[in-house]
């Protein structure tokens, strides 16, 4: 089986010399040992490591449920936030043609916006609908609010019994509010493994059910992830792209490059970047440490953020996420009146123009002081995307341990929630509510 992913770091050589590389390699190998031995913080959440192999036992049940959803519905509404929806959306949007007709997966519960929810509900009036609600606790504010609205809507539309048949809950095995509701209403249920955190859950039913419902081959997705798991066992960067990427990121961070930009030249990769930002941001960003993850979609963003990348502060490094620039079937036509001056491209495919845009960008940014590497996918299919997502998971676990943080918790996520609950008057938050309102009154008074 050929390696579906190649990592080219040539444009980092000017800043990452042999000594820097060796120092980071030693650090990452030590972190890799911590990960593989299960001796580091967060070791209770290492179930993702062999999840591609474990989840093969669930494939038949997931595919069967997905087939039923597709046969009975025109739309699956995926209700979840963060890791409960980003992995599935990343895979679905990467592998589903834009503007396709037929079965759709749409999303709710990933923000708090009533106008969006109203518009989504209005769009479903003439469509058959199923729901997959995903939450370990069932009390996370954004999906819980959306599910409350959708549950009522489904029961009013279909009746309680039929609505229950059309709702699938992916939740905790034995506890939580959603688990309780799912038992009471007799929803079909899938389990979020106890030893897998949300942002590492794409290879569990959390990601696999909606991905399968979208018509994507989840067996191939798991095969790719399992193949990358095999490569990740190697301590040789040339044989292990996850290790290579982790060493490179560590070396650049030590050189003061504290912002990483994931840049693609294909809009289908937008949600891979969104998933990547959550994975790396929540895993590394602790105790005043970590690389800040950002993303751009080129060539669109070369006309906006491109200026900053080329000439702004030099704390940046860039990772291009690419796939084969094979012909996409669109060729630049020749015209008699060459007013736009593009006849020199006549007969050239858009793919070739795009490839040269990447090459030109990588050279310009490197010369402008932004070292960059390229992750090149053999092709855009389920196997390759599975390998890519697993590679990112393994990389960030090693980078987190090398930074001296727990890659598998997210204590900072709770700060805004406590404040929001207090301001909304949730029982038990009265003292914090009073404190926050005093602060707000002081701010408002000083701003007048």
What are the pLDDT digits (tens) for 53-107?
999 999 999 999 999 999 999 999 999 999 999 999 999 999 999 999 999 999 9
> How large is the greatest C-alpha to C-alpha distance in the chain, in angstroms?
75
Residue 410 falls inside a structural domain: no
Out of 219, 253, 288, pick the residue that ends a domain.
219
- Residue 309 belongs to a domain: yes
Same domain as 67, residue 135: yes
**DSSP-derived pairing of the beta strands 129-134 and 75-79:** parallel
Q: Do 294 and 170 fall into the same domain?
A: no
Residue 320 backbone dihedrals phi, psi, to 5 degrees:
-85, 130
Do 116 and 167 fall within a single domain? yes
Q: Specify the pLDDT at position 243.
A: 98
Cα separation values, 34 from 127, 129, 233, 270, Å:
50, 46, 13, 32
Q: Which of 166, 187, 219 is the last residue of a domain?
A: 219
Phi, psi of 231 (to 5 degrees): -65, -35
What is residue 162's predicted lDDT score, i.e. its pLDDT? Answer: 98
Does residue 211 share a domain with residue 262?
no
> What percent of the chain clears pLDDT 90, i.e. is strictly above it?
91
Claim to verify: residue 23 and residue 63 sit in the same structural domain: no
Selecting among 125, 303, 313, 448, the annotated active-site residue is 303
Any domain includes 419: no
Asked if residue 1 has pLDDT above 70, the reply is no
Q: Which domain holds residue 390?
A: 5-41+221-403
* Interatomic CA distance for residues 135 and 168, integer angstroms: 11
Q: Is 303 a catalytic residue?
A: yes
Which CATH number characterizes residue 174's domain? 3.40.50.10490
Where does residue 196 rank: exposed (0-12), middle (13-18), buried (19+ CB within 10 A)?
Answer: buried
Contacts of residue 204, defined as CB under 8 A and 6 or more positions apart, other chains included, come to 51, 55, 192, 193, 196
Q: Look up 6 and say whether it is catalytic.
A: no
Q: Determine the Cα–Cα distance for residues 341 and 345; give it in Å rounded to an integer.
A: 9
Out of 100, 127, 417, 439, pick the active-site residue.
Answer: 417
Q: Which residues of 404-428 are buried (b: 16+ CB within 10 A; e: fewer)?
A: ebbbbbbeeeeeeeebebbeeeeee
Q: What is the pLDDT of residues 334-388, one digit of tens each?
A: 999 999 999 999 999 999 999 999 999 999 999 999 999 999 998 999 999 999 9
Asked whether residue 294 is domain-assigned, the answer is: yes
Q: Label the pairing between strands 292-297 and 316-323.
A: unpaired
Does residue 306 sit in the same domain as residue 392?
A: yes
In this structure, what are the phi and psi dihedrals at residue 270, rounded to the nearest 5 degrees?
-55, -45
Q: Are residues 27 and 61 in the same domain?
A: no
* Inside any domain, residue 420: no
In this structure, the answer to whether residues 34 and 96 fall within a common structural domain is no
Catalytic residue among 93, 142, 260, 282: 282
- Please identify, among 219, 254, 276, the residue that sits at the C-terminal boundary of a domain: 219
349 DSSP 8-state letter: B
Domain count for the chain, please give it: 2
Question: If pLDDT is split at 50, 70 and 90, which confidence band does 245 have?
Answer: very high
In a domain, 186, yes or no: yes
Q: Are residues 21 and 128 in the same domain?
A: no
Does residue 433 form part of some domain? no
CA–CA dist 322, 303 (Å, integer): 19
**Is the domain of 267 the same as that of 292?**
yes
Q: Examine the residue annotation and report whether 127 is marked as an active-site residue of this protein.
A: no
- pLDDT tier for residue 27 given thresholds of 50, 70 and 90: very high
Is 125 part of any domain? yes
Same domain for 291 and 149, yes or no, is no
Q: The pTM is what?
A: 0.96
Q: Are residues 387 and 257 in the same domain?
A: yes
Q: Judge if the upstream peptide bond of residue 299 is cis by omega within 30 degrees of 0.
A: yes
Q: Establish whether the linkage from the previous residue to 70 is cis, with ω within 30° of 0.
A: no
Closest alpha carbon to 365 in 295, 324, 307, 323: 307
3-state secondary structure of 236: coil
Nearest to 188 by CA among 65, 287, 71: 65
The total number of residues shown for the chain amounts to: 448
Q: What is the pLDDT of residue 413?
A: 81
Report how far apart, in Å, the C-alpha atoms of 319 and of each of 10, 12, 46, 90, 245 are. Answer: 12, 10, 26, 18, 10
């Amino acid at each position: 089986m050929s390696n579906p992913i190649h990592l080219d770091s040539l444009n980092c050589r000017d800043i990452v010399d042999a000594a820097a590389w060796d120092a980071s390699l030693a650090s990452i190998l030590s972190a890799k040992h911590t990960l593989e031995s299960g001796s580091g913080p967060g070791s209770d959440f290492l179930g993702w490591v062999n999840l591609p192999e474990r989840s093969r036992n669930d494939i038949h049940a997931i595919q069967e449920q997905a087939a039923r959803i597709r046969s009975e519905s025109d739309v699956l509404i995926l209700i979840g936030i963060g890791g409960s929806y980003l992995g599935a959306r990343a895979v679905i949007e990467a592998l589903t043609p834009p503007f396709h007709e037929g079965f759709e997966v749409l999303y709710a519960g990933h923000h708090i916006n009533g106008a969006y929810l109203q518009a989504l509900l209005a769009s479903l009036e003439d469509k058959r609908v199923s729901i997959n609600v995903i939450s370990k606790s069932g009390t996370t504010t954004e999906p819980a609010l959306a599910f409350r609205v959708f549950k009522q809507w489904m029961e009013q539309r279909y009746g309680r019994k039929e609505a229950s048949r059309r709702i699938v809950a992916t939740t905790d095995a034995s506890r939580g509010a959603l688990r309780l509701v799912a038992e009471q209403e007799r929803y079909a249920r899938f389990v979020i493994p106890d030893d897998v955190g949300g942002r590492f859950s794409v290879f569990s039913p959390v990601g696999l059910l909606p991905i399968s419902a979208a018509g994507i081959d989840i067996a191939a997705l798991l095969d790719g992830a399992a193949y990358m798991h095999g490569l990740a066992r190697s301590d040789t960067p040339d044989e292990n792209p996850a290790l290579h990427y982790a060493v490179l990121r560590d070396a650049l961070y030590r050189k003061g490059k504290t912002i990483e930009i994931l840049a693609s030249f294909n809009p289908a990769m937008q949600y891979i970047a969104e998933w990547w930002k959550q994975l790396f941001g929540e895993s590394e960003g602790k105790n005043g440490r970590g690389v800040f993850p950002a993303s751009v979609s080129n060539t669109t963003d070369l006309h906006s953020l491109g200026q900053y990348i080329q000439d702004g502060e030099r704390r940046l490094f860039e990772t291009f996420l690419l796939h084969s620039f094979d012909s996409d079937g669109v060729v630049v036509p020749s015209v008699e009146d060459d007013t736009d001056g593009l006849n020199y491209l006549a007969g050239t495919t858009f793919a070739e123009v795009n490839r040269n845009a990447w090459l030109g960008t990588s050279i310009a940014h490197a010369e402008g002081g932004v070292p960059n590497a390229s992750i090149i996918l053999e092709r855009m299919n389920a196997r390759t995307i599975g390998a890519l997502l697993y590679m990112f998971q393994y990389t960030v676990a090693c980078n987190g341990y090398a930074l001296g943080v727990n890659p598998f918790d997210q204590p900072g996520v709770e700060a805004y929630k406590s404040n929001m609950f207090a301001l909304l008057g949730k029982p038990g938050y009265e003292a914090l509510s009073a404190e926050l309102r005093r602060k707000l009154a002081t701010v408002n008074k000083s701003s007048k």
